[in-house]
Amino acid sequence: MKRPVMIALDFSSTDAVEEFLSKMPNESLFLKVGMELFYSSGVSLIHQLKERGHQIFLDLKLHDIPNTVEKGMKALARLNVDIVNVHAAGGSEMMKRALEGLHAGTPTGIERPKLIAVTQLTSTSEQVMQQELKIHGTMKETVQAYAKLAKESGLDGVVSSPLEVPLIHEACGESFLTVTPGIRLAGDAVGDQKRVTTPIDARKLGSWGIVVGRSITASADPTKSYEKVVAEWEEQS
Ligand code: C5P
C-alpha cells in the first residue's frame, strides 16, 4: 500500500459526500469514513465508494468485550475496507480477537484490512488522563506502552499525533504503521485541533499516512488543496 493521504469525510449525508466528491479529481482516493457518516449512511455508502475504486479507512474505534469486537470485525471485514481500528484501552485479548475476526471475515483472495489502535485520543490531555481516567504515567509513557501492547497483540499500527511518531517508532520499530491526523497546510485555520503539523513535517517525523479533513473539505478549491497536500507529502519520499 502506497503511503496514503486520507481525506476525512466528516459529512452527515451521502448527498454532502457526493457534492464534495464532485469537486475532487476523478481518480482513486483514500477516504476516511467515521461514525457520523457510517451511522447515517451505512454499508451502502461503503459499497458505492469501493465500487468507484476508492480505498476506505473505516474509523469506528471499536472498544467492547473481546467476543463482541471479534464478531464486529468479522462483519466489517466483509465490507472489503482497507483500514479499521480499535481502542488499545480494550486490552490485548480484545485486540487479538479483533484481528481474528478480521481474518475470519475477509473474503478469499482479498487482503485483510489493516488493523490499527488508538493509544490516547489527541483530545485527552495528560491532566484528564491522570485525574479522570486514573492512568498514572505521563502521556508519553502511556502512548508508548499502549502502542507496544498493540504491536504485541499483532496489530499493524496506531493512530497518533505526528508529534508522537518518533516515540512510537522508538518503542515499536520503524515498520509499525502510524496514521496521523491533526494536519494543516501552512496558513489554514487550526479549528479545534490542539497541535497541528504540516504534511511536510508529518513526513519528516516519520508518519506512514496522514488524515486530512478541513484543509481539503472546507477549502474553496478542494482539488487544489488536495494536490498541494499530496505534493508536500510526496516531496519527502
Ligand atoms: O478537519 P481535521 O483535519 O481536523 O479532521 C481530522 C480528522 O481526524 C477528523 O475526522 C477527526 O475525527 C480525526 N481524528 C483526529 N484526532 C484523532 C483521531 C481522529 O483528528 N486523535
The CATH number of whichever domain residue 73 belongs to comes to: 3.20.20.70
Q: Which of 211, 215, 217, 219 has the most ligand 1 atoms within 8 A of CB, as the residue to mutate?
A: 211
- Ligand 1 centre to CA of 182 (Å) is 6
- Ligand 1 centre to CA of 131 (Å) is 24
Q: Give residue-wise pLDDT tens across range 64-101.
A: 999 999 999 999 999 999 999 999 999 999 999 999 99
Q: Is the CB of 120 under 6 A from ligand 1?
A: no
- Count how many domains the chain has: 1
Q: Which residue, judged by its Cα, is nearest atom 15 of ligand 1? A: 181
Per-residue pLDDT band at 193 (split at 50, 70, 90): confident
pLDDT of residue 122: 83
Q: Is the pLDDT of residue 1 over 80?
A: no
Active site residue ranges: 61
Q: Which of 10, 124, 184 has the most ligand 1 atoms within 8 A of CB, as the residue to mutate?
A: 10
Q: Is the pLDDT of residue 163 over 90?
A: yes
Atom of ligand 1 lying closest to residue 161 CA: 21
Average pLDDT over residues 176-200: 90
Mean pLDDT lowest for which of 78-82, 90-94, 175-179, 192-196? Answer: 192-196
Q: Give residue-wise pLDDT tens across range 117-134.
A: 999 998 888 999 999 999
Q: Which residue, judged by its Cα, is nearest atom 10 of ligand 1? A: 8
Q: Is the pLDDT of residue 236 over 70?
A: no
Model-level pTM? 0.95
Q: Is the CB of 74 under 6 A from ligand 1?
A: no
Average pLDDT over residues 4-15: 97
Q: Which domain holds residue 226?
A: 5-235
Q: Is the pLDDT of residue 197 over 80?
A: yes
108 exposure class (CB count in 10 Å sphere: 0-12, 13-18, 19+):
exposed
Average pLDDT over residues 35-54: 96
- Ligand 1 centre to CA of 109 (Å) is 32
Atom of ligand 1 lying closest to residue 121 CA: 21
Atom of ligand 1 lying closest to residue 215 CA: 3
